[in-house]
Structure 1
Amino acid sequence: MGTIKKPGIYIEEKNAFPNSVVEVPSAIPAFIGYTAKSPPNQHGRISSFSEYEKFFGGPPSRLFRLCGHREESRQLEPASAAKESTNKKEVNESIGEINGYSLTRVGPEYWLYAAIRLFFRNGGGTCHIVSVGDYKDTEKIQAASLLEGLEALEKEMEPTLVLIPDAVSLDSPEVFYSLCRRMIAHCGKMRKRMAILDVYQGYSALQLPLGGKSVVDRFREEVGSESLSYAAAYYPWLETAILAESELSFQNLTDGSLDLLVEMICEELSLTEHPKNESKNEAVRKERMLSLVNQLPDYTATTCKSWKDNPDNTGKTSPEDMHLSLLSLSSGYKALIRYLQKYLNQQPPSAAMAGIYTMVDSMRGAWMAPSNYSLSSVIAPSVPISTEQQAYLNTPLDGKAVNAIRSFRGEGVLVWGARTLDGNSEDWRYISARRMTMVLEQSMLLATKAYTFEPNQARTWISIKSMLENFLIQLWKKGALAGASPAEAFSVSVGLGETMTVADSENGILRVRALVALSRPAEFIEISFEQSMQKA
């Protein structure tokens, strides 16, 4: 109270409680990649998929080309077989065959749009988007552009997770893993975020001929050895259901492919019985099919986009009706659309895991392991993993654990691993331990900033100690800290003779030590059975 200068009654308010520590958000992912459009500052904070589409635009073109008719007519190969045969998923590589026609992806393969979709399907919330360019100005995925996005993220304090979904489209494993090392170094430097990594070509199987290296072996060799506790990796890729069949049609083929599509459908018609032996319904079906395919070569991308405004379309079937009719009449066309859907729905798992991290943190907290949770909009892992392979992934000699995603009968697709890449460290083996430590460090750091330039004396020390102890006891009550009592769960020390010397005090240094017993997941549960003697 100021100096009293006149008679009267004065009220003085005193703080009955010390300052409190506010727990920082623990699951705010930052996605770096290419978008349909870029905001002026190329960065945005969103909380829903509709906001993403509003500010960053829609999906990439998803264009494919039919080519290379062969003499022998073959049915569509399974997606996994086609990809394993080439052992790569790159631009302009054949991705499979249908009825003897080769199917090729046209243009760069962008993953960010589908990743955001998968993120929100699995419980995702607030996240940051860093756009490094738009689709129309990009001929291929550039590692330099993605690195620029990572460097721009250093100015943002809120994100706690880092993902680069488009990285799996880089030209080679060497370039991909170079970027992974930069991601891990970035997180180690910031000390407040983790990287969620995919395995390059993670749709490939672990079993290889004698002497070969699996994609996981290559990952472990190339990912580096620094700051590994700030990263977690997941294998294999996922067969998802985020892209519906209704989102695909002949409009996803290049204009030059429509003639080949007509040829393929006409060949399909020639495989039916002779007209004189056909039923009336079959003849009608054939006649309708031929009338449709005669129109199909006239459909260009421009025609489909401006159908209602184009006066030349009078009397022609609309693109939507054409698509539905072809689906109902042509088994080859239907197989083509389903194959494209299966191919595009094969996704790296990092975005789904970011959603799981967010969901777990909102339900329980960062101290919970993001494991033993089922993945939404996921049909199956791209590669089934056995119990023996799980051991190989989880406990390698070098400690670089890769968390498995497995399918269990009656339970769905589950995340079945909770380790960082620093698996040989007793302190930082588990994702939950690393993330909870980051939450504690950042929360305490921000809270004690209020005491900067306060007198370095006992009153200040007691206030800080009281504030931190109140914060930690609340976390202990929630189950974030181990121990039967607060005394077993944590201790806070500050002051002369405990954490500081007289020289520290005179030099304006205030040292605080907090010891915490973090709870760790029950990764291995052992149940012992013994037979007892008969009592009666």
Structure 2
Amino acid sequence: MAAPMKTPGVYIVEKDAFPNSAVEVATAVPAFIGHTEKAEIKGKSLTNQPVRLSSLAEYLSLFGGAPKTTFSLSKNAGSSGASASASASSADSEEGSEAAPAAASAASATPPTITIKGQGYDVDPKTKDYLFFNAIRLFFENGGGPCYIVSVGDYNTDYELDRMRGGLNGLIREQEPTMIIIPEAIKLKEPDCITLQQAMLAHCGGKMKNRVAILDIYNGYLGRQPDYDPIAEFRNNIGVNYLDFSAAYYPWVHTTIVQDNAVSYENVDKESISVLQELLKTELIAPLDDELGKLKPGDAEDDARKVKLEELKTAYDGYITQLSADDLTDVQKSSLNKALLQLSPSFRQIVAEIKLQLNLLPPSAAMAGVITMVDNERGVWKAPANVSLSSVVQPAVDITHDEQEDLNVTPQGKSINAIRSFISEGTLVWGARTLDGNSLDWRYLQVRRTIIMLEESIKLAAKAYVFENNVANTWVTMKGMINNFLTSIWKRGGLAGTTPESAFLVSVGLGETMTPEDILEGILRITVKVALVRPAEFIEITFQQKMQES
């Protein structure tokens, strides 16, 4: 209303020509929960506090780097040469990560074994295998951007259900996150892992209703076997609540996050150094002793040969002795490791096995990166599928076309999205369903996430009209605002339909969406209907012969 005119003069009155607009909220802001090296800024603890960051450099400054995981090396008394599958995981060797009894009895769930000169060796994590840092790196490698980090402890704390579940509480106050990922959930015991994943579903679908949970399959590095089926266990235990607010991916993936220069003899536990030294003596020193024993004293050529062999033996023995030394400089350690890699195939095999285990990661963090990339390039309405994974060598389990049928379509509706390897194409995400796979409304992840975006965007824009007069002028203004917003989404391909009228419908008004009683009670009701975009999951091409015409 213009100010009252009491003094003669010229008065300027400004009027808004355009209604308020709705702004599209961010759609790809994941929140990660896990263990970090540290959690502080300027001496202030950040434990259990959500921290927003946008790069790996920021993460390193606030939360530190990778843990130093050490592995035990021991002779496998029951193995005389059988080599275990390269895809075996270190998960079950964790004190807090015991697999189900059925899995423990499966051959593929036993600790990995390498075979060196006919003798089997077990290579198992000796310290806690904290994978959170590598998961964050995998997220950024696959297109990740702004995210929230919730540190629930450092590398000296155990995996505990209550600690990880407590990380969800801090996210209740944050409205921006759109995905929840807890990569280390699979390090808990299986019942605790399922309990934590159910808490994630309740947080996303029950409490917040504006985000989705990206889940990993417990023991997802294992194939589906009659004596233990990780998919069946997951489906039996996850329950039926809030399934449309989540998506699960299988199997785990072999990555290249941990490079050769990040693994050395220091990853072998001190208590196992003697085993490594014995192995190297057998490989490097014993052949020299055998050759020395064959030389003839007094022979000029043999005497010259003896000098060279004894020099080699002294050098090799020095390398082997240095393995147990505690006073080496970083340069000496690096030189020693390079020498052993060059001289010993057995040492190279052990280091390769350690690197293989460190690089076996659950896929949830990679999927958060893929979803972020697809959202930025195509929009939240594009299915995050048929996209290759970066820094991934191959899936831990090869899935065929027939084997994926039960993952994608099942009577229980709990669809699991497959990660598959295709010749000349690499490792692709080959599924885009929520766990509520039988629902025609919420079958696809992009549908759920698009609706969340529309709801949050319109909700935030509508807050400007709280306590405005509940009259026709307000209704028309709000309807115009929502129409303009949905029109912009439709033009970008976010809604189906050849015209805006066929893509969405906004209704508001007395006798249309409200009764006189609603107005007396201060309720303004708006109905928004949208035609959402769904993926072409199945493409059928029909071929038929026709008669020759000429």
TM-score by length of 1: 0.92
1:470 CA drift (Å): 0.2
Asked whether 1:161 is paired with 2:161, we answer no
Instruction: Answer with 66-75 or 148-157: which moved more.
Output: 66-75
Identity percentage over the alignment?
A: 45
Corresponding residue of 2:485: 471
Q: How does 1:56-455 map onto structure 2 within 5 Å?
A: 56-68=63-75, 70=77, 74=81, 77-80=84-87, 82-83=88-89, 88-91=92-95, 94-99=111-116, 100-136=120-156, 138=157, 140-170=158-188, 172-189=189-206, 190-206=208-224, 208-209=225-226, 212-269=227-284, 272=287, 274-275=290-291, 286-298=313-325, 300=326, 303=327, 307=329, 318-455=332-469
Q: Any conservation in 1 of the 2:69–2:128 contact (CA below 8 Å)?
A: no
Supply the distance in 2 between the matched residues of 1:121 and 1:87 (Cα, whole angstroms).
23
One-letter amino acid of the counterpart of residue 166, structure 1: E
Q: Distance in 2 between matches of 1:421 and 1:34?
A: 27
Whole-angstrom distance in 1 between the partners of 2:309 and 2:481: 81
**Amino acid in the other structure paired with 1:177:** I
What is the DSSP-based 3-state SS (H/G/I as helix, E as strand, rest coil) of the residue aligned with 2:370?
Answer: helix
Map Cα deviations across residues 75-127 of structure 1 (whole Å, 9 max, x no partner).
864432x55xx993534984434534332211222121111000000000000
Equivalent pair of 1:94/1:105 in contact (CA under 8 Å):
no
Q: Secondary structure at the match of 1:79?
A: coil
Preserved contact between residue 85 and residue 112 of structure 2 (Cα < 8 Å): no
Question: Which residue identity lines up with residue 242 of structure 1 in the other structure?
Answer: I
Equivalent of 2:57, from 47, 50, 56? 50
Q: Secondary structure at the match of 1:135?
A: coil
What is the root-mean-square deviation of aligned Cα atoms in Å? 2.1
Trace 1:517-532 onto structure 2 (pairs within 5 A).
Answer: 517-532=531-546
- TM-score, normalising length: structure 2: 0.89
Equivalent residue runs for 1:27-42 within 5 Å:
27-39=28-40, 40-42=45-47
Could you tell me whether the CA contact under 8 Å between 1:98 and 1:336 is conserved in 2? Answer: no
Which runs of 5 or more residues in structure 2 are unaligned? Answer: 97-109, 296-301
Whole-Å separation in 2 of the counterparts to 1:87 and 1:244:
20
Cα separation, partners in 2 of 1:282 and 1:433, compared to 1, 3 Å: farther
Matched letter for residue 192 of structure 1? N
Which residue is equivalent to 2:4? 3
CA gap 1:283/1:364 in 2 versus in 1, 3 angstroms: farther
- The 8 Å contact of residues 38 and 63 in structure 2, kept in 1 or not, is answered as yes
Q: Is the 8 A contact 2:180 2:213 kept in 1?
A: yes
Cα-to-partner distance string for 1:330-351 (whole Å, 9 max, x where unaligned): 1111111111011110000000
Distance 1:75 1:386 in 2: 27
Give the distance between the partners of 1:364 and 1:14, measured in 2 at CA. Answer: 37
Give per-residue Cα distances to partners, 1:402-421, cap 9 Å, x unaligned: 00000000111000000000
1: CA distance, partners of 2:409 / 2:136: 31
For 2:515 and 2:77, the matched residues in 1 are separated by 83
> Offset of 1:294 from its aligned partner?
2.3
